Amino acid sequence: MNANHSNNNTKESACKVTDEICLPDSNLPRVIIIGGGFAGLALVEKLKHKEVQVVLFDKNNFHQFQPLFYQVATSALEPDSIVFPFRKQISGYKNVLFRLAEVEEIQPSTNTIITNKGRVHFDYLVLATGTTTNFFGMDNVESHSLGMKNIRDSLNIRHMMLQNLEQAAITCDDKERDALTNFVIVGGGPAGVEMAGALAEFRKYILPKDYPEYPSSIMNIYLIEAIDELLSTMSDKASSKTLEYLKDLEVKVLLNESVSNYDGSQVVTNCDKIILTKNLIWTAGVKGQFPKGIDKKHVVKGNRLKTDSFLMVEGYKNIFAIGDIAAVITEETPKGHPQVAQTAIQQGKYLGNVLLKIIKDEGVNSFEYKDKGSLATVGKRKAVADLGKFKFAGYFAWLLWSVVHLLSISGFRNRLMVGFNWAVSYFTYEKSNRLIIRNFKPKPSVNNIKK
């Protein structure tokens, strides 16, 4: 491959932001990976020290451990304990480079990506860009609620919650206090269930100590789910047990109900139920996100990219998709594979082997997803597990959930920090420092909902 820079002796540190992003000269095939989530990093690990030049692009300089976002949001963990710098991750990988840039466009005809910092040519391109929150076209809800898809969202939720609880101690208006202390979570999947359980424990163990100005019973937690069960991707046993746990924690679960509008002060459901709240957390859906340049005819439901069984994007010969963005549509998987971390990791590892074989012009086998089971927690000592034929709940499911998540976190220091926080919380129910280090400013409320 042609070099990106004419002078082999030019130092990367001397490069300026120009039309071309500076990369070291190399005759190796160049694999560009967009996105450093579970899928992207699994692919990086598979290609390290191989005969390829790997360039990882991400708009952040760190990997985020998404399954624990809700714990950051509820002050159980500090954000730096579940993020890990990419450059530290790839330290020692001589064939792997990281570039902090947001990819804005793909130009397949010239094998080029356009970023906000410049352009780069590729031999093979891998899209591992993940998903963003899907508000299903409800602009009012999107304007006034918070999703939970990145670490910044989690910190916004934390600051919103703490600021509103502080304001509730100040106001003398009963309706205003109700709105400030009511929490509505939309979506009964793992993220919504775990968030509801964490908030319920916060109300039970933290609120009475931190806010003696008002009774903890004033804080109502609502979980709204549009269908008739929670955790619909798990077993009926897991669903019913989760509902039982949440009711024990006094979470108000509204099944077969959905949000039709929200103005920043009150939620209206499809059943015309009105809930006063200034705290709406949206976990009800996701949609794929990727740079422009891919033909729309290859985009399927959920804004995912349709791929063949080798994870190659339909219509292209050197562009692949892995993780939540990939929809491997086959007779066995008409809706694609589940958008979970284990799918992303397996696809990343698989594609690493595939790319190396393609470069050597060797035959490859189709991707086969191996479902290792599902876990979800509802609070301390309360979790559900579906592991093949084994379906159980309670303390051992919670212990298994804790071990699996702890071992999955990047970096020894991060594991140590999370483990220590969990140990303290286990014996004391104490949360991390509940600090408002920056003001969260919600958009102005528009009273356009009919009373």
Domain containing 298: what range? Answer: 28-131+285-357
Asked if residue 271 and residue 190 are part of one domain, the reply reads yes
* Structural domain ending residue among the three candidates 252, 283, 314: 283
Structural contact between residues 180 and 217, judged by C-beta atoms closer than 8 angstroms: no
- Is residue 326 assigned to a domain? yes
Please tell me the total count of domains within the chain: 2
- Is residue 366 assigned to a domain? no
- Is residue 372 assigned to a domain? no
Q: Which of 44, 53, 50, 58 is nearest to 23 (CA)?
A: 53
Structural contact between residues 64 and 82, judged by C-beta atoms closer than 8 angstroms: yes
- Is residue 61 assigned to a domain? yes
The pLDDT assigned to 18 comes to 56
Asked if residue 322 and residue 236 are part of one domain, the reply reads no
* Structural domain ending residue among the three candidates 267, 283, 299: 283
> What tens digit of pLDDT does each residue of 175-214 get?
999 999 999 999 999 999 999 999 999 999 999 999 999 9
CATH of the domain at 321: 3.50.50.60
Q: Which amino acid is at 221?
A: I
Asked if residue 274 and residue 160 are part of one domain, the reply reads yes
For 99, residues 6+ apart whose C-beta sits below 8 A from its C-beta are: 21, 23, 55, 56, 57, 115, 117, 120
Asked if residue 168 and residue 116 are part of one domain, the reply reads no
pTM above 0.85, yes or no: yes
The pLDDT assigned to 444 comes to 62
Q: Which of 391, 386, 389, 390 is nearest to 374 (CA)?
A: 386
> What tens digit of pLDDT does each residue of 332-373 get?
888 899 999 999 999 999 999 999 999 999 999 999 999 999
The pLDDT assigned to 7 comes to 44
Asked if residue 163 and residue 267 are part of one domain, the reply reads yes
- Is residue 364 assigned to a domain? no
Asked if residue 296 and residue 221 are part of one domain, the reply reads no
Asked if residue 180 and residue 88 are part of one domain, the reply reads no
User: What angle (nearest 5°) sits at the alpha carbon of residue 179, between those of residues 177 and 185?
Assistant: 140
Residue 14 has pLDDT above 70, yes or no: no
Asked if residue 147 and residue 124 are part of one domain, the reply reads no
Residue 20 has pLDDT above 50, yes or no: yes
Asked if residue 139 and residue 239 are part of one domain, the reply reads yes
Report d(CA 294, CA 312) in Å as an integer. Answer: 13
Residue 451 has pLDDT above 80, yes or no: no
- Is residue 177 assigned to a domain? yes
> What tens digit of pLDDT does each residue of 50-109 get?
999 999 999 999 999 999 999 999 999 999 999 999 999 999 999 999 999 999 999 999
CATH of the domain at 233: 3.50.50.100
Look up tokens 């009012």; give the residue.
140
Asked if residue 37 and residue 85 are part of one domain, the reply reads yes
Asked if residue 264 and residue 150 are part of one domain, the reply reads yes
Asked if residue 275 and residue 145 are part of one domain, the reply reads yes
- Is residue 398 assigned to a domain? no
> What tens digit of pLDDT does each residue of 246-285 get?
999 999 999 999 999 999 999 999 999 999 999 999 999 8
* Structural domain ending residue among the three candidates 307, 341, 357: 357
- Is residue 442 assigned to a domain? no
